[in-house]
Amino acid sequence: MAISIEHPHERHVWRQRGIYILRVYIPLTLFVLVTLFPFYWMFTTSLKTNQELINVRELILFVKKPTLAHYRYLFEQTNFVRWTVNSIVVTVTSTAISLFCGALAGYSLSRLRFRGSNVLGLAIFVTYLIPQTLLFIPLTRVIDQFGMLNSLWAMILTYPTLLIPFCTWMLLGYFRTIPVELEESALIDGAGRLRALVSIVLPLALPGVLSAGIFAFTLSWNEYMYALVFSSSTEIKTIPVGLTSELITGDVFFWGSLMAGALLGSVPVAIFYSFFVEHYVAGLTAGAVKG
């Protein structure tokens, strides 16, 4: 009878693999399940009939009789398509404005030396910490004086007040990681500051720019306070305000359509993250370390 003798090295390898699985794969699997569960719950809720939704005796994780009635109600009985277009226009425009101003301000504070530059950099970031509940009343008076209430411009021009300070702080830290000698060489060759910024600094700072853009995009897409205050007609509302104002009437919640709208509203942000997640992590790391 043949007797197999396991080598001590093999036992050590299997032990290390088991420890690695326990320490990495099992916690990672639990984290993924917990993270994705809200999306799964929204998806299953949007497919349930009203009878299943109100049946509190059976809290099931699966759909017995799937239906698309809630999605049809969302697209046929509400202005969800219009809200989506409004969200895209406001988000893209305000993100572009914030990145443009944040890049110029971050570059100026990181490269130019002038009196009060450090205090100014700190003051810009502190403005980000001011809560919106203290700002929406004076901003409402300003927007009203310019005649832009109940318009997309009211949100496009107020969202950057939240986005520019953070974008400036993040890009300021990332610009400091780029060697200044590269710009000095370009300046010696005859390039100006703006040319050096566009041709040298911004391409090298692309991860930081993308991370700031993702943050600005996400915050603009999910912003609720300003969108609620500055929009009264249903044609001007964005997705967060439109869903909560049109699908919640008193104490009646249209849960199926609400979950359908929330799920569809989270898709653009998820797609945006999936393309630039590596640059986002790199930009956050560099900005936090060097900022």
DSSP 245-289: HHSEETTEE-HHHHHHHHHHHHHHHHHHHHHHHHHHHHHHHHHHH
Do residue 50 and residue 73 come from a single domain? no
Domain membership flag for residue 90:
yes
Q: Which distant-in-sequence residues (6+ apart) come within 8 Å of 253 by Cβ?
A: 247
Write out pLDDT tens, residues 40-97. 889 998 998 888 887 766 667 788 888 899 999 999 999 999 999 999 999 999 999 9
Q: Which distant-in-sequence residues (6+ apart) come within 8 Å of 274 by Cβ?
A: none
Instruction: Give CA–CA dist 159/201, Å, rounded.
Output: 26
Instruction: Give CA–CA dist 45/255, Å, rounded.
Output: 7
Domain membership flag for residue 215:
yes
Task: From residue 46, give the alpha-carbon distance in Å to each of 40, 95, 167, 204, 238.
Answer: 10, 31, 36, 44, 20
Domain membership flag for residue 250:
yes
Of all residues in the chain, the percent with pLDDT exceeding 90 is: 21
Q: What is this structure's pTM?
A: 0.81
Do residue 40 and residue 131 come from a single domain? no
Q: What is the pLDDT of residue 79?
A: 92
Q: What is the pLDDT of residue 291?
A: 45
Q: Which distant-in-sequence residues (6+ apart) come within 8 Å of 103 by Cβ?
A: 167, 171, 197, 202, 209
* Domain range for 27: 8-54
Do residue 33 and residue 168 come from a single domain? no
Do residue 98 and residue 15 come from a single domain? no
Do residue 35 and residue 101 come from a single domain? no
Do residue 77 and residue 203 come from a single domain? yes
Instruction: Give CA–CA dist 263/39, Å, rounded.
Output: 7
Instruction: Give CA–CA dist 253/246, Å, rounded.
Output: 10
* Residue 4 pLDDT greater than 70, yes or no: no
Write out pLDDT tens, residues 200-211. 888 888 888 888
Domain at 180, CATH number? 1.10.3720.10
Do residue 134 and residue 266 come from a single domain? yes
> How many independent structural domains does the chain possess?
2
Domain membership flag for residue 31:
yes
Do residue 96 and residue 13 come from a single domain? no
Do residue 114 and residue 257 come from a single domain? yes
